């Protein structure tokens, strides 16, 4: 699949600032693996990397509770992390939503609403096991075949990218994920994991460095080198903050809703884990999220 420019795909009203655009373009390359529900077939804890990864997994709810979760709802958005100055003449960027998501993790049914500027919202309805068989709607009308093919491709990339930014801590044991522990990078209060991937997902050449709190197991920050980055690209840290716990019948599940870095912030927020999906959630072509 060929990734298209974010502005042309989603028709953002202003395209924000140039720096933010480059930031968003980098983000949409993330996610080097399949994004089905977290795998419950846990391997034996044979290495230090496995032990640290499981501590992280447990800190975000653990395998059993995540395996039982059916419906997941969240927004993926970006904005400025810089405080607004009262006397500034520069317009401050606002929080801009790129995708509103609803996922049935048991069936694979998926809904993503992609704002396109003004009152334009594309509604993509598909199944994660066969995204090419889905449909895309605008103002209640199905878009043309040629446009729909590209939009479905973009919607599936949204799914892969945006869910990884939300769920990475519970994806550490997925098939194709290679974990290694970096003792030279770890400190008194941080463990560092390096993640690489086998031939899985859309961008298997991605690499991640995950810095985790030794006491709590939560992710403090991460850095990454994506497969489209030049060899001399220096990974920059991005914090994982605003952790929020959700009570479910199988236990508390935890997510990070805010990822700030160098003047920008990425949101995986407005998270909900409803017991039931709204009526028509995976069939209604009108925006509802």
Question: Which tens digit of pLDDT belongs to each residue from 171-217?
Answer: 999 999 999 999 988 888 999 999 999 876 677 889 999 999 999 99
**Paired tokens of 272:** 């909900």
Number of other residues whose CB lies within 10 A of the CB of residue 150: 16
Most confident residue range from 12-26, 29-43, 245-259: 245-259
Per-residue pLDDT at 263 = 84
Residue 15 has pLDDT above 50, yes or no: no
Whether the model pTM is above 0.75: yes
Distance CA 1, CA 61 (A): 34
Beta strands in the chain (DSSP E): 71-80, 96-104, 109-117, 120-127, 135-138, 141-142, 177-181, 190-197, 207-213, 219-225, 238-239, 241-248, 251-261, 264-272
Q: Which residue has the tokens 């019948």?
A: 249
Tell me 133's DSSP state. Answer: G
Residue 23 has pLDDT above 50, yes or no: no
Under 8 Å CB-to-CB from 55, ≥6 apart: which residues?
191, 212, 217
> 127: exposed, middle or buried (C-beta count within 10 Å: 0-12, 13-18, 19+)?
middle
Tell me 278's DSSP state. Answer: P
Residue 128 has pLDDT above 90, yes or no: yes
Distance CA 267, CA 227 (A): 23
Q: pLDDT tens, 134-166?
A: 999 999 999 999 899 999 999 999 999 999 999
């Amino acid at each position: 699949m060929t990734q298209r420019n974010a502005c042309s795909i989603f028709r953002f009203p202003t395209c924000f600032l140039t720096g933010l655009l480059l930031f968003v373009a980098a983000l949409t390359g993330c996610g080097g693996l399949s994004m089905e529900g977290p795998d419950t077939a846990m391997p034996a804890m044979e290495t230090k990397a496995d032990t640290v990864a499981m501590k992280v997994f447990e800190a975000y709810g653990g395998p059993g509770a995540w395996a039982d979760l059916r419906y997941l709802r969240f927004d993926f958005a970006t904005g400025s992390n810089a405080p607004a100055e009262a006397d500034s003449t520069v317009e401050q960027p606002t929080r801009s939503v790129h995708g509103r998501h609803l996922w049935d993790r048991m069936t694979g049914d998926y809904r993503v609403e992609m704002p396109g500027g003004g009152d334009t919202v594309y509604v993509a309805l598909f199944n994660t096991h066969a995204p090419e068989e889905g449909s895309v709607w605008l103002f209640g009308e199905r878009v043309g075949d040629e446009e729909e093919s590209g939009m479905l491709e973009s919607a599936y990339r949204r799914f892969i990218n945006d869910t990884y930014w939300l769920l990475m801590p519970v994806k550490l044991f997925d098939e194709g994920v290679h974990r290694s522990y970096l003792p030279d990078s770890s400190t008194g209060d941080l463990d560092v994991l390096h993640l690489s991937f086998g031939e899985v997902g859309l961008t298997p050449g991605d690499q991640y460095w995950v810095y985790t709190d030794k006491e709590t197991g939560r992710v403090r920050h991460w850095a990454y080198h994506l497969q489209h980055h030049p060899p001399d690209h220096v990974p920059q840290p991005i914090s994982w903050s605003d952790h929020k716990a959700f009570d479910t019948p199988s236990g508390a599940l935890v997510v990070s809703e805010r990822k700030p870095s160098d003047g920008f912030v990425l949101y995986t927020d407005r998270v909900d884990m409803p017991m039931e999906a709204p009526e028509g959630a995976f069939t209604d072509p009108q925006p509802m999220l």
